[in-house]
Amino acid sequence: MSNMYQWINQTWNTIRGKCGYECGYCYVPNTRARKLYEKEPELIETAFKPLGSGKIIFVCSMIDIFGPSIQDYWIQKTMEHCRKYDNLYLFQSKNPIQFFRFANDLPKRNILATTIETNRDYKNTKAPSVHQRMKGLKLLSEVGQTTMLTIEPIMDFDLKEFLEMIRIIKPYKVNIGADSKKSSLPEPTWEKIQVFIEELEKSMQVNLKPNLNRLKVIRE
């Protein structure tokens, strides 16, 4: 099971190394595997083992598969291996428009996802802006792709604008989580989060991550 998503059966990482997006709240530096992700990205040749079938597998959970310095060949080889096994594969990137470049390489059963933090741009990452990420996910939804949105770590937002942005995209699922590193981020009140969740649940599936409980405890 994945620590990031409780409904995932397995994580599978074929690439390791430093992520060029350098998000200030990234959880990877706090893991036991952090030393493997401090160097330049590389393909893990030993990772290409049988994956079995009937699973939900999060591919490259420790690094952005479309991040800077990731070679096309590594992505193509990873997806080629996925296609050999009948599983549902989750691919997540902060540069979701890049999924279009590899449309012919994707396994048949997949979920394409991106991560945002708010509808605002707080400039705490080198990744494409929140609005660029959301535009990429919207285009994927419009061509019939199953898309997923993760809001983590949730940061303070403009309620009406944020809800409208998400409703336009129509992701099949929205995951919401909080900052696990306690990075002194501008966080919304629990009351505001509650209203946000209630509105989203009227039209889509919402999954709350356990680390969100920290904000609930602080506010109550």
> For 126-130, what is the mean pLDDT?
90
CA 61, CA 90: separation in Å to the nearest integer?
A: 9
- What CATH number should be reported for the domain whose range is 10-219? 3.20.20.70
Convert the pLDDT of each residue in 62-80 to its tens digit: 899 998 889 999 999 999 9
> What average pLDDT does the structure give for the chain?
90
Convert the pLDDT of each residue in 101-113 to its tens digit: 999 999 999 999 9
DSSP the chain: --SS-TT-SEEE-SEES--TT--TT-SGGGSTTGGGGSS--EE-GGG-----SS-EEEETTTS-TTSTT--HHHHHHHHHHHTTS--EEEEE-S-GGGGGGGTTTS-SSEEEEEEE--SS-----SSPPHHHHHHHHHHHHHTT--EEEEE-S-----HHHHHHHHHHH--SEEEE---SS-----PPPHHHHHHHHHHHTTTSEEEE-GGGHHHHHHH-
> For 109-120, what is the mean pLDDT?
96
> For 190-199, what is the mean pLDDT?
97
pLDDT confidence tier of residue 1, bands split at 50, 70 and 90? very low
Q: State which of 2-16, 40-54, 120-134, 176-190 shows the largest mean pLDDT.
A: 40-54
Domain range summary for the chain, segments of one domain joined by +? 10-219
